[in-house]
């Protein structure tokens, strides 16, 4: 791995990049935990099952820069690679996905750059998830850096499917046999049906609970 350092950016070393993006992940993780705790306090319900975070490796960053025709510099890395820091939010129901996305967007110090709704518009492979590219302020001793974080929000079932699809993609280096691709698409349909049935069942349970409290 070789990332050349340039001095026309405030972030001018690989170590500082890691510090800033790791701090950004900590910030958004804490925000989500607080929102989840507040939701439990107000509604007696936790929309978030669990949270996963990761930093892209230097090798992956260089590979992505080369793929898009950019030199491997710190400046290009910060400017053009949007998923250096990634956080995945796993929830129980599809309705939670949009609730969580709204809570994130409503944070006054977070800026939403782009949104990709692969639930309404799934990928041809069957992939479903809700993606947000946001910026999170990182408060350093002498300045504030706004770091980009890719947020993926999906149900447990969607995450299970995506994990298997990811393994198959790397197993066959992106060229899986057609019958396996077709099976994945069928599984994605089953996941969607399961999510809908679970959401409907949960709403029915809540309705019964509400009636019993009257």
The domain that holds 145 is classified in CATH as 3.30.460.10
Instruction: Give the whole-angstrom CA distance, residue 153 versus residue 128.
Output: 10
Residue 190 lies in a domain: no
Give the structural domain span for 99: 14-156
Residue 7 lies in a domain: no
Q: Which of 15, 38, 150, 204 is catalytic?
A: 150
Please indicate whether residue 150 is annotated as part of the active site.
Answer: yes
CA angle 137, 138, 143 (to 5 degrees): 100
Residue 55 lies in a domain: yes
Domains in the chain, number: 1
- The predicted-structure confidence for 59-93, as pLDDT tens digits, reads as follows 999 999 998 999 988 889 999 999 999 999 999 99
Q: Which H helix or E strand runs over 89?
A: strand 85-91
| Closest listed residue to residue 98, CA positions, set 165, 151, 37 | 151
Residue 193 lies in a domain: no
Contacts of 66 (CB under 8 A, 6+ apart): 72
On whether the CB atoms of residues 198 and 93 are closer than 8 A, the answer is yes
Residue 171 lies in a domain: no
Instruction: Give the whole-angstrom CA distance, residue 187 versus residue 189.
Output: 5
Residue 170 lies in a domain: no
pLDDT greater than 70 at residue 179: yes
Q: What is the pLDDT of residue 14?
A: 85
Percent of the chain with pLDDT over 70: 92
- pTM value is 0.88
Residue 209 lies in a domain: no
């Amino acid at each position: 791995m070789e990332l050349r350092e340039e001095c026309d950016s405030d972030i001018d070393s690989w170590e500082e990049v890691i510090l800033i993006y790791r701090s950004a992940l900590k910030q958004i993780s804490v925000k989500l935990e607080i929102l989840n705790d507040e939701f439990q306090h107000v509604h007696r319900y936790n929309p978030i099952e669990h949270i996963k975070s990761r930093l892209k490796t230097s090798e992956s960053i260089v590979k992505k820069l080369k793929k898009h025709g950019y030199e491997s510099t710190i400046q290009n890395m910060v400017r053009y690679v949007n998923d250096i820091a990634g956080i995945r939010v796993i929830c129980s129901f599809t309705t939670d996905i949009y609730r969580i996305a709204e809570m994130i967007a409503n944070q006054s110090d977070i800026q939403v750059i782009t949104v990709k709704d692969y639930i309404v518009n799934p990928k041809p492979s069957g992939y479903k998830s809700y993606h947000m590219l946001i910026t999170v302020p990182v408060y350093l001793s002498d300045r504030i850096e706004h770091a980009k974080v890719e947020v993926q929000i999906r149900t447990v079932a969607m995450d299970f499917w995506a994990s298997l699809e990811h393994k198959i993609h790397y197993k066959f280096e992106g060229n899986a046999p057609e019958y396996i691709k077709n099976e994945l698409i069928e599984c994605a349909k089953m996941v969607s049906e399961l999510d809908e049935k679970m959401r409907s069942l949960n709403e029915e349970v809540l309705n019964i609970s509400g009636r019993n409290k009257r």
